[in-house]
């Protein structure tokens, strides 16, 4: 069997990916690509990365058999990869540790980031504080409202949070603004992109840093149940937690890989953030070619999701590729379905999941019901829900 080996040297996954950026950034991306090539297999770099993941992030994160929830759902056994237990509360920190180590080696004193839910912003602010780097985080003003606790955390950590008022005032606009900052300050600034999107080498590099999730899970599943799961389920915003857990499984036969996009108010309403599930046209945004929610003129259309971290009109190019080659499947879960799963997990397992992760949980619940009791679903529980309490309180009419 030919092993999976993507992307090509210029960051293409078939027709997807690439480096679609303004000329001013080409040089910076070349430099980053060369530095990453130099360090990605360097034992000293990898040892430092592993050390920080263990002692600062708290890895490995456990795999947990959600037995009560599985029984209640009735069907397959659901296991959770507990990225919510990481320092700062989500998988995002894995990637920021890796990129910050590179920024240090490249001598860049300033890091910038975009953030939607604020988890990537917090993770970047955290690692910047630890390494003594200046940190600026761009965040849509709409997201600042719905993720206030994370804004406060970033400020405590010494980061400057810049509200973005353009466009839809959400994640994609924060990315635009971070790109504008980078173009202007490229000499001293490292842009820590928070997902498997952006120009090459970001989709590959972020995947590699997040792959620790799947690498650990494979070992843990073997130890716990003596085999690999029948299906791996993860939510997809840009797609980093999903790529992180999928990647080590791509060459493992008979493991279904399922990415869960935000179906918002429902796929048929157009108010969603599910470019793969709805077969959106292919286009170019934020440095790569991928499936994109857009109108006939090629303008990006507004997305909707209850979870800020999934509210993105595109998707990492490797997911576009995995969809086309049919190695992964992509489905949508609505706001309401995600909320129901959120409450379900809270009450049966004592775990408050992030709204993003709740999309994966909701789909696992649907699947489990159609499967046998001895079958296994592994869900990437990408983050914890502390940041979402205000949103949930509002939706569920709970007074705090």
Ligand X SMILES: Cc1ncc(COP(=O)(O)O)c(C=O)c1O
Residues marked active site are found at 92, 114, 382
Q: Taking CB under 8 A as the rule, does residue 131 contact another protein?
A: no
SS (H, E, C) the chain: CCCCCCCCCCCEECCEEEEECCHHHHHHHHHHHHHHHHHCCCHHHHHHHHHHHHHHHCCCCCEEECHHHHHHHCCCEEEEEEHHHCHHHECHHHHHHHHHHHHHHCCCCEEEEEECCCHHHHHHHHHHHHHCCEEEEEEEHHHHHHCHHHHHHHHHCCCEEEEECCCCCCHHHHHHHHHHHHHHHCCCEEECCCCCCCCCCHHHHHHHHHCHHHHHHHHHHHHHHCCCCCEEEEECCCCHHHHHHHHHHCCCCCCEEEEEEEEECCHHHCCCECCCCCCCCEEEECEEEEECCECCCCCECCCCCCCHHHCCCCCCHHHHHHHHCCCEEEEEEEHHHHHHHHHHHHHHHCCCECHHHHHHHHHHHHHHHCCCCCCEEEEEECEECHHHHHHHHHHCCCCC
Return the residue of 50, 219, 284, 393 that touches another protein, per CB under 8 A: 284
Kindly tell me which of 77 and 305 has the beta carbon lying closer to ligand X.
Answer: 305
Return the residue of 261, 337, 349, 356 that touches ligand X, per CB under 6 A: 356
- Name residues contacting another protein, limited to 29-58 (CB under 8 A): 30
Q: Taking CB under 6 A as the rule, does residue 90 contact ligand X?
A: yes
User: Where do we find the tokens 């490292």?
Assistant: 190
The listed partner (another protein, ligand X, none) that binds 19, CB under 5 to 8 Å by sort, is another protein
Q: Taking CB under 6 A as the rule, does residue 357 contact ligand X?
A: yes
Site string for ligand X, 200-239 (x = CB under 6 A): -----------------------------------xxxxx
Return the residue of 60, 229, 309, 317 that touches ligand X, per CB under 6 A: 309
Least separation in angstroms between CB 231 and ligand X: 18
Return the residue of 96, 99, 119, 126 that touches ligand X, per CB under 6 A: 119
Q: Taking CB under 8 A as the rule, does residue 271 contact another protein?
A: no
Return the residue of 172, 272, 384, 387 that touches another protein, per CB under 8 A: 172
Q: Taking CB under 6 A as the rule, does residue 259 contact ligand X?
A: no
Return the residue of 5, 295, 374, 399 that touches another protein, per CB under 8 A: 295
Q: Taking CB under 8 A as the rule, does residue 21 contact another protein?
A: yes
Q: Taking CB under 8 A as the rule, does residue 298 contact another protein?
A: yes
| 211-219, 259-267, 278-286, 369-377 -> range binding another protein (CB under 8 A) | 278-286
Least separation in angstroms between CB 195 and ligand X: 3
Q: Taking CB under 6 A as the rule, does residue 332 contact ligand X?
A: no
Q: Taking CB under 8 A as the rule, does residue 18 contact another protein?
A: yes
Long-range contacts of 43-51 (CB under 8 A, 24+ apart): 45/101, 45/105, 48/101, 49/97, 49/98, 49/101, 49/209
Q: Taking CB under 8 A as the rule, does residue 285 contact another protein?
A: yes
Q: Taking CB under 8 A as the rule, does residue 8 contact another protein?
A: no
The listed partner (ligand X, another protein, none) that binds 221, CB under 5 to 8 Å by sort, is none
Q: By the criterion CB under 8 A, which residues form the site for another protein?
A: 10, 18-28, 30, 166-167, 172-173, 176, 179-180, 183-187, 281-287, 289, 292, 294-301
């Amino acid at each position: 069997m030919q092993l999976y080996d993507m992307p090509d040297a210029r960051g293409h996954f078939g027709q997807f990916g690439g480096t679609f950026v303004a000329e001013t950034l080409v040089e910076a991306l070349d430099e980053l690509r060369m530095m990453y090539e130099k360090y990605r297999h360097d034992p000293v770099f990898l040892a430092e990365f592993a050390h920080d993941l263990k002692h600062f992030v708290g890895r490995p994160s456990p795999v947990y058999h959600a037995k009560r929830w599985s029984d209640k759902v009735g069907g397959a056994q659901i296991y959770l990869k507990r990225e919510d237990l990481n320092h700062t509360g989500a998988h995002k920190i894995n990637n920021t540790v890796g990129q910050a180590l590179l920024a240090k080696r490249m001598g860049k004193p300033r890091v910038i980031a975009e953030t939607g839910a604020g988890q990537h912003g917090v993770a970047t602010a955290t690692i910047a504080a630890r390494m003594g780097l200046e940190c600026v985080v761009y965040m849509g003003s709409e997201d600042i409202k719905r993720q206030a606790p994370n804004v406060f955390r970033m400020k405590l950590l010494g980061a400057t949070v810049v509200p973005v008022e353009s466009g839809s005032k959400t994640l994609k606009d924060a990315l635009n603004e971070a790109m504008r900052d980078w173009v202007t300050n490229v000499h001293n600034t490292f842009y820590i992109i928070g997902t498997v999107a952006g120009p090459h080498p970001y989709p590959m590099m972020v995947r590699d840093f997040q792959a620790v999730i799947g690498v650990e899970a494979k070992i843990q599943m073997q130890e716990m149940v003596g085999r690999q799961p029948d299906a791996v389920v993860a939510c997809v915003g840009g797609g980093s937690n999903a790529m992180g857990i999928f990647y080590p499984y791509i060459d493992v036969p008979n493991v279904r890989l399922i990415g869960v996009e935000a179906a918002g108010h429902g796929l048929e309403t157009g108010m969603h953030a599910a470019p793969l599930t709805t077969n959106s046209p292919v286009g170019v945004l934020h440095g790569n070619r991928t499936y994109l929610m857009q109108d006939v003129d090629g303008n990006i259309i507004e997305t909707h999701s209850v979870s800020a971290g999934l509210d993105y009109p595109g998707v990492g190019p490797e997911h576009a590729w995995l969809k086309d080659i049919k190695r992964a499947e992509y489905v949508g879960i609505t706001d309401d379905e995600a909320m129901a799963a959120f409450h379900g997990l809270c009450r049966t397992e004592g775990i408050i999941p992030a709204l993003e992760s709740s999309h994966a949980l909701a789909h696992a619940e649907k699947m489990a019901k159609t499967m046998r009791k001895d079958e296994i679903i592994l869900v990437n529980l990408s983050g914890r829900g502390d940041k979402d309490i205000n949103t949930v309180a509002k939706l569920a009419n709970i007074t705090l």
